[in-house]
Amino acid sequence: MTKKLSTKKPLTGNRRSHALNATKHAQKPNLQKVTINGEKVILSAREARTLKKEERSS
């Protein structure tokens, strides 16, 4: 069972054609399954990268 730690949600907006037609569009966050201390969690790629950097520095 994986726990979702990230609170990130999709950014929403419109795609615009040359005729200025608007179509709904969502940019979804880059969520990854990562193992931390033997426990699987779901984080964004940026959060996982930051945690990895903090582990190396300490």
Domain assignment of residue 48, given as a range:
3-57
CATH number of the domain that residue 27 is part of: 2.30.170.40
In this structure, are residues 7 and 44 in contact, taking their beta carbons and an 8 Å threshold?
Answer: no
Total domain count, the chain: 1
| Closest alpha carbon to 15 in 31, 1, 26 | 26
- Whole-model pTM? 0.75
Could you tell me the mean pLDDT of each successive run of 10 residues in the chain, 58 residues long?
Answer: 90 97 97 93 95 88
Identify the pLDDT of residue 2. Answer: 86
Identify the pLDDT of residue 29. Answer: 96
